[in-house]
Structure 1
Amino acid sequence: MSEDETLRYDKMVEDALRGVVREALIKTARDGLFGDHHFYITFRTHFPGVQAADHILARHPEEMTIVLQHQFWGLEAAETFFRVSLSFSGKTETLIIPYAAITGFADPSAKFGLQFQALDGDDDDIDEPEEEIGETESAPVVDIPADAEGKVIALDAFRKK
């Protein structure tokens, strides 16, 4: 049975959970952060579609974690990627990060975290960000059980080995 003939539940679940990240960023771009909410976002720096200054990529050759809390500007969330400006050594730099490049997302104030298996950079489902930022459709809503608070959801048990 070929991969085209199987249901890839692991990929479907990861796509749905990446929708949680997308929705959090869409709401934050629209309304700003409120309360103590803040995000730690870890991503693969050389994933197709990631755009950052060369000196940032050189300092973080594989993975990087950014914090969206007090000092970030111009957050824009699209369907397949987000754009944000952050300060690096006193200089403002803009990053463009496809959601598929994200390997971790956490909001410590909500005791919420997600960990993702890095997608292959040559996956046919991954496109370079070409869409315009502006009005975006809402991501599908994913219900997270009330008893899941404070738990990191790992999907390794569902992956093909």
Structure 2
Amino acid sequence: MSRSIDYGNLMHRAMRGLIQEVLADVADNGLPGNHHFFITFDTTHEDARLADWLRDRYPREMTVVLQHWFDNLVVGDDGFGISLNFGDSPERLFIPYDSILTFVDPSVEFGLRFETQDQESEAEDAEASPPLRARRDEPETEAEADAAGDEDEAQDAEVVQLDKFRK
């Protein structure tokens, strides 16, 4: 019976813990400086809570912006609740950490991307990148993402053999 360490899930948990810690600090102290967040999440996640009209408008995923106006940010162990303004109409959302697809803070060019199991399977079939990438060059808008094109691909790491440093 062989057993292996599931580094992918461990990294996902650690990165979601990072998001939880950042949001808890913002809930306690507000957004510092020019920091702001673009958070894309899976609206089909069973624990995601949003108004029916928002779910109808965003049937698969939705990006919310935490910047100028948000209220009642409550950070929990499984996700966070927040009130956001949609056309002068405040709406309450609950976003589970497991539903987060991307977390970007463009003010410091920091971003995280999480891929689902289906995406991981497709990526393995296509010999694509690992399931989680911490990135500092996420585009701020869809237009910038489209313009980035192939520049968005992950770079391969160089493997260094320690034997060449031995005397």
Q: Normalization by structure 2: what TM-score?
A: 0.69
The structure with the largest alpha-carbon Rg is 2
Distance 2:85 2:74 in 1: 16
SS in 1 for 2:25: helix
Question: 1:63 is aligned with what amino acid?
Answer: E
1:118 deviates by 2.6
In the alignment, what sits opposite 2:95?
97
After superposition, the CA RMSD in angstroms is 2.3
Q: Normalization by structure 1: what TM-score?
A: 0.72
In the alignment, what sits opposite 1:14?
12
Question: 1:42 is aligned with what amino acid?
Answer: T
Asked which structure has the greater RCO (Cα within 8 Å, sep 6+), the reply is: 1
In the alignment, what sits opposite 2:136?
150
Distance 2:35 2:92 in 1: 22
Distance 2:49 2:26 in 1: 21
Question: 1:48 is aligned with what amino acid?
Answer: E
Distance 1:119 1:93 in 2: 30
Corresponding residue pairs, total: 126
Task: Give the unaligned 5+ runs of structure 1.
Answer: 121-147
1:111 deviates by 1.0
**Change in CA separation of 1:11 and 1:87 when aligned onto 2, cut-off 3 Å:** same
Does structure 1 conserve the Cα–Cα contact (< 8 Å) formed by 2:112 and 2:135? no
Higher helix share: 2
1:117 deviates by 1.1
Distance 2:58 2:94 in 1: 15
In the alignment, what sits opposite 2:85?
87
Distance 1:37 1:21 in 2: 14
In the alignment, what sits opposite 1:54?
52
Q: Percent identity?
A: 41
Does structure 2 conserve the Cα–Cα contact (< 8 Å) formed by 1:110 and 1:149? no
Task: Give the unaligned 5+ runs of structure 2.
Answer: 119-133, 139-152, 157-167
1:151 deviates by 4.6
**Change in CA separation of 1:60 and 1:149 when aligned onto 2, cut-off 3 Å:** closer
Residues 38-77 of structure 1 deviation map (CA, whole Å, 9 limit, x = unaligned): 0000000010110000000000000000000001101111
